[in-house]
Chains A and B, each alone.
Chain A
C-alpha cells in the first residue's frame, strides 16, 4: 500500500530553478504550495479517494502478533500477577516503524524456539504456584485440569473456548499425564496456551463474504486492551463486549475514557513518545573526552524526563499538542539540573525529581528536550541533518528519500573547522545532495544553540555567536529563529497537527496509513481539532472511528 505521507520524489532538480511540477503539499492535506524556488521534481499529486464507501472508512490492518512488551503484561494479567515475565520471548524488531506494527513481530525459526523456551518458563512458574492458581489442584484429577483450561485458555484467548480448542488442550493433558505428575501436566497445558495463535495474535475472523468486516465485541475489546494498556482485556471490558455495548461508538468511548484514567494508559502514551523520538538512538554514546559528564545515569535521566514531562502535560495541561511542544515546565533531577544550568540546590540527587520552569527563551516542549537533541546528534557534534530530518518526518510527515548508493562518493569537502552552518551551506549548494538536504539542514540549523548533549550554548565552534535562524522550505511558514520559535509555529500549524494524528493512527492500528485511509485520517483530524488536539481526545477519536471498528480484508 503506497504511503500517504508525501514522498519527495528524488529531491532532484536544481535549487533556484522553477520545476515543472511545483506542487509540494505540506503534510499531504492537499494544500499545494507553489514554490518559486523549485528544487524538486515530485510525483504527481496523490489521488483523493471518495469518502463515502465503507472500504475507505475501514482500515486494512495486517494480522498482528503481540509484541514483547505486550507479551510480558499479558502473561502477568493471565496468571494474576503470580507468573513473572520470561526473558526468552523473541524480541520485537526495532527500526521498522512502531513496535505495534505487524512487520516488527514476525515469527522466525529461532523465534519459535524462543517462544517454546518462554512457554516453559511460564510453565515452571505455574507449577511452583499451582495452589494459588488452581484451588482444586489437590484433587489432581481431569475435572480439575478442565477447570484450569476453562479459566486460563478463555482468559488468554479473550473469548469463550470452542469445543475443539478445549478438546485439544484436554488431549494434551491426558497424553502427558500418562508419565508426568499432575502439576507438570498442568504446566505443559499452560505452556501450550501461551504458544497458541489465539493468544499470540489479534485474530479477527470473517463472519461473511463482505470485504469489510465489522469487528465483534471481543475483537474490539482485544484491540482496546492492547492499545490502551498493552495487556489482556479486563473483566469490565469483557463484560461490555458480552453486553454488546462495544458495537457502538458511545460504548467504546465509555471504555476508552475509563482506561485513559488508569496509569497503564500513561505508560502507553509514554511508550509512543519514546518510539516517536526514537530514544533508542541515545545508546550509541557520546565522546567522553568532550562530555565527561556523559554516563548511564544522565542517559536514563534524559529518558525519564521525557516520560515525566509527557505525564505532566497529560495530567495538568490537557495533553494538548500545543502544550507538548511549547510548555517550558518540566521535571529535573540533579544531573539534569546541571545540564539545564539550574541552581544545583534544585535537586538532591538522581532520584530527586522536582517540577521547574525553564527559561522560556531557551526551552519550550519536546523539541528542546535534551533526550531528543542528544539522540539527534553525533558523539561530539550536533547534526542539523538528524534534527531537520526528525522535524520533517515526525512533525510534518514529509518522507525524505534515502541518499543514492554513491552518496558518499559525491559528498563535498569542507574547510577545516567549518561550523555546521558553513558545512550545510556548502552541502545544500552541491548537487545532487542539495535537493534533499535543503529540506533538512536549514531546519536543523535552527537547533544550533543546543550541543550534542542538548545543553544550551551561545557560541559556535569557531567562537562566533550562534545564528539560529532556520527555514522550513515548502511549509505553511518558512522562516523561524531557534527551536522555541519553531515549536510555537509548529504547534499551531495544520501540518504538524495532521502529522501527529497520522502518527497516532499508525501506532494505534499497527500500520502505515495508505491512500484509502485518507478519509479516516481527515475525519479523525476534524474531531481532534474540535478538541484542540488533546491527545486523550485524539485517542478517543481513533478508537471510535470507523477505521478502528471495521477491518478491510483481501
Chain B
C-alpha cells in the first residue's frame, strides 16, 4: 500500500521555521537482507572558478602528506580521501573559439568538445569551422555511471544546483549528445520529489484522498499515454525532428518506469526522512546560493542515496559570476567588480585572504558531505565507504582560467577498491584517464572515456 505523504508533514518549528517532521519510525518494513551487498554510489561535487593552487596543494606525497590551509577542513577524513595533482582537462582546448567559460564547463566531465565542432568522423574541425558555443558531444561521467548502476532507482541521478538552475555557461552535466542535464535548487521542491510518493510502511489507508493524491496515483497511466502519443508523430516529421521527439519520448518512458518502481521500493534500514530545516523567514526559491541551501541540498542528496532513491548525485555551486558570500564576513567583492573579477585580479592585490576564505568554505561543504555520508550506517560500513565522491572544479588556477592541473579530491573508496589516505602528484594525466579509472572502479572494463586522442587509458597509480 502506498501512502502518500502530504505537505502536512512540514511543521512550524520555533520562530516559524519550517521543519520536516521526523518520522516516528524509519522505513523499516522493507530492508536489505543483512547479507546483501550495499550498492555502490557516485557523487560529483563541483565548485566554479577554480582554485588558488598554492594554498590548496598538499605537501608531502603518498600516505605521508599534509593538508593545506584550504583543505584543512578535510582533516577528520584524511584517511578516506585521495588528493591528486597533475590531472589536466585538455579537451577544453579543442573548442578553440569558445569563451573562457563555456568550453571549460562543457568539457570538464564529458571529455568531449561541442557537437558542432566534430566532423562526420568524430574528428575535431579546423578552427575556422568551429562554433563559439554549443553542448557537449557526449555524456558526463556521472550520467554514464548512472546509466549502468541506476537503471532501477526512482531517480537516474539527483542533480542539485546550489544557486539556481538556469545554468547557461555553467552547464556541465550531460546525458548524451546535445542533451544537457538540468538541476533543482529549491530544497522544498527536492524534498517533495523525493518523499511524497515513498511508502513509509504505514498500512493504514487515509480516510479520503485529496484531488492531488488521486491525480498522483495515476501518474503511470498518464505517462504511458503521453509516451505513446509520440509514436503517431514520428513518421510524419523529418528525420531531424524525429531525433528530438524520440529523445523526449525516451525520457517520458524512463520516468514512467522509475515511478513504477516506487510501488515496491527496496528501502534500506538506514533511510529516514531528512530534517529540512529552514530558518524563519527564509525565502526558499530556485536561486538560493547560501549556507542554508548548501546544507539542505547536501542533506537531501545523502538521504536520497541512503534511501536508494538514486545511486548517483551531483552537487554543483552554480553561481560563478557574482556571489557575495555574506555569511563569511569577508569583503567580497570588496573593491573589485564581482567575485569573477576577484578570481582574476585579487590574488596579487591583497584580496587573497578573502578568496582563501571562500575556497575553505567550499572545503567545509565537502567535509560536511563526507561527514553526513559517514553517519549513514550500512551493514559493517557506511554510505561513504560504499561510495566514490569526486570534488572538482572547471579550472585549476582560477586566476588564469587554466584547465590544467585541476584541484581534485576523491573520497570513499568503493568498499576498498581505491586505497585512500594518499596524495598523488601525477606527472601527466588527463581527465579522460581519471574517468576511465573511475569506471573501472565501478567494475566496468572501459579502456577509454571521451575524446580518444586525449585519453590514454586508466590512470596508473590512482587506486
Contacts and interface: CB of A to CB of B under 8 A. Distances in A.
Interface of A: 2-3, 7, 9-10, 43, 62-63, 90-91, 93-96, 102-103, 106-113, 116, 119-120, 123-124, 127-128, 162, 164-165, 168-169, 171-172, 175-176, 180-181, 183-184, 187-188, 191-192, 195-198, 201, 203-206, 284-285, 287, 378-381, 399, 401-403, 405-409, 411, 553-554
Given A188-B221, A195-B222, A116 B322 contact: no
Interface string B191-219: 00100000000000000000110111111
A128 B211 CA distance: 9
B132 interface: yes
Interface stretch (B57-65, B270-278, B337-345, B374-382): B337-345
A186 B133 CA distance: 44
A380 B336 CA distance: 8
A176 B333 CA distance: 57
30 contacts: A3-B131, A10-B127, A93-B167, A95-B168, A96-B133, A103-B178, A107-B247, A108-B180, A108-B251, A109-B156, A109-B157, A109-B255, A110-B181, A164-B232, A168-B229, A176-B218, A176-B221, A180-B218, A184-B215, A188-B221, A197-B233, A197-B245, A198-B229, A201-B245, A379-B322, A379-B338, A405-B92, A405-B100, A407-B401, A409-B399
B32 to A, nearest CB: 26
Contact of A168 (B166, B225, B254, B255): B225
B93 interface: yes
Contacts of A124: 211-212, 215
Interface SS of chain B: helix, strand, loop or mixed? helix
Contact of B221 (A175, A205, A402): A175
A43 B127 CA distance: 10
Contacts of A7: 97, 132
Given A109-B251, A124-B212, A171-B225, A96 B168 contact: yes
A391 B244 CA distance: 35
A287 B332 CA distance: 10
A217 B216 CA distance: 38
Contacts of B403: 405
Given A103-B135, A124-B215, A198-B229, A285 B322 contact: yes
A292 to B, nearest CB: 17
A533 to B, nearest CB: 28
Contacts of A127: 211, 215
Nearest to B222: A192
Interface in B130-170: 131-133, 135, 156-157, 159, 165-169
A106 B250 CA distance: 13
B338 A172 contact: no
B144 to A, nearest CB: 14
Given A191-B222, A284-B338, A408 B237 contact: no
B455 to A, nearest CB: 20
A32 B248 CA distance: 45
Interface string B235-259: 0111111001101110110110000
Contacts of B119: none
Contacts of B156: 109
B98 interface: yes
B402 interface: yes
Given A111-B182, A180-B214, A197-B229, A203 B237 contact: yes
Given A95-B168, A107-B251, A198-B229, A205 B237 contact: yes
A187 B29 CA distance: 33
Given A109-B251, A116-B255, A206-B236, A380 B337 contact: yes
A198 B233 contact: yes
A63 B237 contact: yes
Given A401-B97, A554-B240, A116 B219 contact: yes
A108 B181 contact: yes
Given A63-B237, A402-B132, A554-B239, A113 B255 contact: yes
Which of A43, A108, A128 has the most CB atoms of chain B within a 10 A radius of its CB? A108
Which of A91, A110, A168, A203 has the most CB atoms of chain B within a 10 A radius of its CB? A110
A260 to B, nearest CB: 30
A180 B209 CA distance: 10
B402 A106 contact: no
A191 B238 CA distance: 27
Given A402-B100, A407-B401, A408-B399, A119 B222 contact: yes
B216 A120 contact: yes
B207 to A, nearest CB: 15
B97 A402 contact: yes
B226 A196 contact: yes
Contact of A2 (B129, B167, B218): B129
Contacts of A90: 182
Given A107-B251, A116-B255, A406-B400, A196 B132 contact: no
B255 A63 contact: no
A240 to B, nearest CB: 23
B235 to A, nearest CB: 9
A187 B97 contact: no
Nearest to A102: B244
Contacts of B218: 176, 180, 188
Contacts of A3: 131
A411 B345 CA distance: 10
A95 B171 CA distance: 11
A412 to B, nearest CB: 12
Contacts of A162: 232
B400 A165 contact: no
Given A206-B238, A378-B337, A408 B215 contact: no
B56 to A, nearest CB: 18
Interface string B292-329: 00000000000000000000000000000110100000
B53 interface: no
B212 A120 contact: yes
A126 B104 CA distance: 46
Contacts of A201: 245
B264 interface: no
A411 B337 CA distance: 16
B222 A188 contact: yes
Contact of B215 (A120, A168, A169, A172): A120
A109 B254 contact: yes
Nearest to B159: A110
Nearest to A404: B100
Contacts of B244: 62-63, 102
Nearest to B240: A554
B222 A378 contact: no
Nearest to A401: B97
A461 B337 CA distance: 15
A199 to B, nearest CB: 10
